[in-house]
Amino acid sequence: MKIRKESGKRLWLVIGVFWLVAVGGGMVVLRNYENTSGAEGDPPTKWPVQSRIPRTTGLPTIVVMGHPKCPCTRATIGELAVMMARLHNRATAVVVFVRPHGTPDGWDDTDLRRSAAEIPGVTVMSDLDEVEVDRFNADVSGQTMLYNANGKLLYSGGITASRGHSGDNDGRSSIVSLVTDGTAKLTRTPVFGCALRTPKSLTGEKL
Amino acid sequence: MNQGTEKTLAVSQTIEQRSDFLLHESQQAIYRRTDRMFAGLMLFQWVAAVVAAVVISPRAWAGTSSHIHLHVWAALLMGGALTLFPVSLAYFPPG
């Protein structure tokens, strides 16, 4: 009876060790996923003259490229709301939601888009056929750029600390600092979010 | 020691043993009940995590293509791994 009880305890111990390893491994995978940034965008250093994104004369413009269905971008929109409250009329922002070729009307009419539209000082627009995304060389949802009143690029990157995580981060504080003081420690930060474009392997385009 | 005192000692020892036994039984019953309650809570937490993942971040997107978000798999598999071991411990060797 005692031997049976002892071997039972040993079995639970072995299962416990495997459990710890499995859970620890899972945590590592999740952590890596959250902290792996997307491809860095390479936006033009001067505001592209062909761009249809609206700007307010005399004010810096913040441009956020977003995928309307990306759950991670919710954190970016939350950070944008905090940023706009801090900047208070010292900059305008435009959230450009990508609408790929062939998608039906209303494809980008999502809760995320409505949340962005509710932020004071923020304009929301659809980017049919990814024209602006191409113009600004953005790859990842959440890519944020700051152009000064003269159209010079001051900052490019993400405004979340990791994928889908709200809270203080370098991107947000850099933009606020650039608009209010004209300087910032960082002018580029990593971007975390879904890809804005359909992978070429799925569109049939040559890689 | 006379016979009467010996008998009283034996009776008090029996009462002590019996009370220890009853205390132990009662403690074990409370431990088992608490374990099962937490096992139920763990299972509920797992289901809630899966529902939250499905509602909040069901799919990850790349342009027009999408796939089930890692959060859903994590809630299902990691949540399952996190839950099932303690729940098994609570049910199989409870207390």
Distance, CA of A99 to CA of A103 (rounded, Å): 7
> What is the band of A205 on the pLDDT scale with cuts at 50, 70, 90?
low
The shortest CB-CB distance from B81 to any of A8, A23, A203 is to A23
Q: Which residues of A touch B89 (CB under 8 A)?
A: 12
ipTM over 0.90: no
pLDDT of A207 over the 60 cut = no
Cα separations in angstroms, A38 against A95, A180, A195, B95: 19, 28, 8, 48
Mean pLDDT of all residues belonging to chain A: 93
- Quote the tokens at residue B17: 């043993």
Phi/psi of residue A183, each to 5°? -135, 160
Q: Is A128 on the interface with B (CB under 8 A)?
A: no
Distance, CA of A169 to CA of A159 (rounded, Å): 7
Strand duo A143-147 + B59-62: pairing: unpaired
Out of A11-15, A96-100, A147-151, A198-202, which region has the weakest mean confidence (pLDDT)?
A: A198-202
What is the distance of C-alpha A102 from the center of its chain?
24
Question: What mean pLDDT comes out for the span A7-30?
Answer: 91
In this prediction, residue A186 carries a pLDDT of 95
What is the distance of C-alpha A93 from the center of its chain?
15
From B63, B43, B72, B78, select the one nearest A22 (Cα to Cα).
B78
Contact A69 B78 (CB under 8 A): no
Q: Give the pLDDT confidence of B1-56 residue by residue, as tens digits.
A: 577 788 888 888 889 999 999 999 999 999 999 999 999 999 999 999 999 999 99
- Quote the tokens at residue A144: 């944020």
* Closest CA–CA distance from residue B55 to any residue of chain A (Å): 10
Q: Is B59 on the interface with A (CB under 8 A)?
A: yes
pTM: predicted TM-score of the whole model, two decimal places: 0.84
Contact A26 B81 (CB under 8 A): yes
Contact B62 A199 (CB under 8 A): yes
Q: Give the pLDDT confidence of A183-204 residue by residue, as tens digits.
A: 999 999 999 999 999 887 766 5
* Closest CA–CA distance from residue A71 to any residue of chain B (Å): 5
The SS3 of residue B51 is: helix
Contact A98 B78 (CB under 8 A): no
Contact A199 B81 (CB under 8 A): no
Q: Which amino acid is at A3?
A: I
For chains A and B, CB pairs below 8 A equal: 67
